[in-house]
Structures are given as C-alpha cells and as structure tokens.
Structure 1
C-alpha cells in the first residue's frame, strides 16, 4: 500500500543479510515479495513523504518513488566483484527529481551502516573549480558556512580529499582554506541508528538533518547558479 512512511519492515536488515549470503537470482526471485514489503515499498513511501515535507520546508528537493531509488542489482559488467546484489538500498532526492543533479539528499539503508547525506558529489570540473575559487575569493563567506554547519552539529566530510593543492591555488596559505580547496566533494552526513528505521519518526530525523545542512545547500546553489548563468 502506497502512502505515508510508517517505517521499514522488521525484516528489512535480515533480508539484506540473507540476500548477501545467498547472492543468488533464484533466491531473490523466491523472496521478492519480502523485498518489496520490507524494503522497496517502504522506501518509496519514504521518498514520497520526504518530498512532501521538503516542499513544505522550501528545501528545493524532491523525488519519485520509482525513479529515485537505486537498483538492488549491481552493475558487474566492468567489476572484479561479480556478486549480483548490493548490500544496501538507497535513493536520491534532488532539485529536479532526477539522479543527474548536484546538491542532493541521499539516503542509504545497508548492512554496514545507515546514513543520509547532503552532497555535491563529484561535481563537474567547471563547478568544482568555481567552488574552489569561491573559497579562495570569499574566505569569510566559506568560514561562515563552516561555522553555521558546526553550530548545527555538522562538518564537511574529508573522504577523497586531495593530498596536494590543485594547480592555480598554490598562493593560498591559510590551513583551513587549503584543506577546503583540496576537497573533491562537498558533503555533510548524518548517521542513522539502524534501530530507528522501523518507525515514522525517521522522517522527522531526516528533515531535521536537511534543515541543519541547509547552509551547504545555499552556498553550493549560489555558486552553481553563477556557473549555469555563465
């Protein structure tokens, strides 16, 4: 039944554990109803409910219960790891509702961990350069962003940060700005307690996180707007 999110089923994580153990199309097809009832359909409800709540909060993020979810199947064509199924299920809500935008909300329910991101992940070169130039040219604005995130109990993730300063920014000497310019992504993350995925309270938790991450959305969107206008 489609509708408001009421929580993932009690067998959602056990299903992922069993799927990861079997890694078999035959097993998956035999248990497809369980996947749909415990994971996929509730995830669709979560996307719909968050879309409604994000609209009310004017966050500029939306999704579609079918198009926003990533497939449970892995693309193994060019992978050394030939296991056919992921150990997680995930979805993206974005400014236009597609998976092609930047400045997105990403939610991940998996065996290793459950989390949500507000992310500018692998932005195209022109946008990444513009973000780095914005840090260098308007350091006070970037530091205000960092301070706002810290006040909201968030900080930029450092995963994938370059070890060396990119060409053209060698003149930057302030350690905090150098570290920021070395970012390949601009992401803040909220860790979800797996025990908390089974109730409707997860929606409030994720809306609260996104509101706390809004300074990053605003900063990135302002820069992106200038890139697109140019």
Structure 2
C-alpha cells in the first residue's frame, strides 16, 4: 500500500530556487536530506497515490517511485549549458509503468511553472503516420475527439507544430484537419497553481484532469493497436 500523498513540503520550491542558484554538487549533497524530504519523497507518494487512483478509474496508467521519477541531474553530455541540475522535478505514469511507452500522464513541478499533461509525445514514425492518417481519413472520429476535449475544457497542445504540411498530407486542406496533421505530438495540458502543491487536494485535481483527457488516450490507443 502506497503512502498517501499529503502535499509537497513548504520548502520544495525554495529548494529548487536555491539549487538553481548554487548549481553545485557539494551544495546538493549538503542538502540532500532536505531535497528528499521536501520534494522527492512526496513526489513518490504522489505517483503511487495517482497510480492507485488511475487503476481504480480504469485509465490504464501506473507508476512507482523508483521507475517513474526523472532524475534531478541534467544530462549535459551534448548541452552547451553545463549546469548539473534541473530547475524542476518530473515524472511519468504509463501503461506499463516505464518511461518508454506512449499515451502517458506527465507531472512537472518547476520554477517556471507546474503542470500535468496527457500525451502521445513525439511518437515514433509509424505511430505518428498512423495518427496523421486517422485525422485525414477518419475526420469524423477526430472531430468527435476535439468536441469531447473542448467539452472537458481541454485543447490540443500546438507546441512544435510543423509550419508546412508533412509529405503525403498536402491534400488535406480543411483548416482543423490540416493543422492536426502538422502536429509532431498529440497532447493536452493542465496548469497547476503552485500554491496548490502543498496539500492532498492535488491528487483529486490531477485525477479529474486525467479523466477529462481520457478521450485522447482512447483515440490514440485505438490507433496504436492497429500499428504493427
């Protein structure tokens, strides 16, 4: 049984600010206990509480504190910015509990913003092609998805959208369908008020968002099931 999520520590965001200021391994090691108590361990509780709630709701998303959390350390091998630590902590819940699947739930707690997402994020070429084909050849299903999301106060994220039609989709001229075929991913987001991360009500907020985003999960899973 997972430990119930009772909120992040009051020093969670100040800790991220201090870590970003120092960007020092020595400073981090001196404050590791505080990082674990205020941020990492509560995040683990949140993941496992959400996993239980998502399972009960039939969302097909799960995770745990060992597999789902991303490291606070940055991968700087090919980056110009060699700062060793991220300005945020994040996690993924997925169909199999790993970070390798598509159709996932994402949580991000950071200095610039806090948000959650449900996404088919940069899917592989075969799945992305299948999704674009679904938009172009079954427009009724796609428009029904858009209607459901709008009813649920959500809309597709336009970040990273191509400026021109991808090859093979130049014939799609209806504005809503043409825009969708230019997507590199299919995702919706929910902004989290940073003031709301310190209490257990965050769980209900995120479960509500995941349920509102379920039409996108269902649409993508139906397409994924047809891709070899």
TM-score, normalising length from structure 1? 0.98
The whole-number CA distance in structure 2 between the counterparts of 1:168 and 1:26 is 53
The whole-number CA distance in structure 2 between the counterparts of 1:183 and 1:170 is 14
1:219 matched to which residue of 2? 219
**4+ runs of 1 displaced by more than 6 Å?**
none
Residue deviations 1:59-106, cap 9 Å, x none?
000001111000000011111000000000000000000000000000
The Cα of 1:37 is off from its aligned counterpart by: 0.3
The whole-number CA distance in structure 2 between the counterparts of 1:198 and 1:154 is 25
SS of 2:226's equivalent? helix
2:34 matched to which residue of 1? 34
The whole-number CA distance in structure 1 between the counterparts of 2:109 and 2:171 is 42
2:7 matched to which residue of 1? 7
1:64 matched to which residue of 2? 64
The whole-number CA distance in structure 2 between the counterparts of 1:11 and 1:172 is 51
Counterparts of 1:1-230 in structure 2, within 5 Å, are 3-227=3-227, 230=228
The Cα of 1:213 is off from its aligned counterpart by: 0.2
SS of 2:168's equivalent? coil
The count of aligned residue pairs is 227
Unaligned runs of 5+ in 1: none
The whole-number CA distance in structure 1 between the counterparts of 2:66 and 2:12 is 18
The Cα of 1:33 is off from its aligned counterpart by: 0.5
The whole-number CA distance in structure 2 between the counterparts of 1:166 and 1:74 is 32
SS of 1:226's equivalent? coil
The Cα of 1:171 is off from its aligned counterpart by: 1.1
The whole-number CA distance in structure 2 between the counterparts of 1:96 and 1:180 is 27
SS of 1:62's equivalent? coil
The Cα of 1:153 is off from its aligned counterpart by: 0.1
Unaligned runs of 5+ in 2: none
The whole-number CA distance in structure 1 between the counterparts of 2:36 and 2:172 is 52
Residue deviations 1:179-221, cap 9 Å, x none?
0000001010000000000000000000000000000000000
The whole-number CA distance in structure 1 between the counterparts of 2:12 and 2:173 is 49
The whole-number CA distance in structure 2 between the counterparts of 1:169 and 1:90 is 35
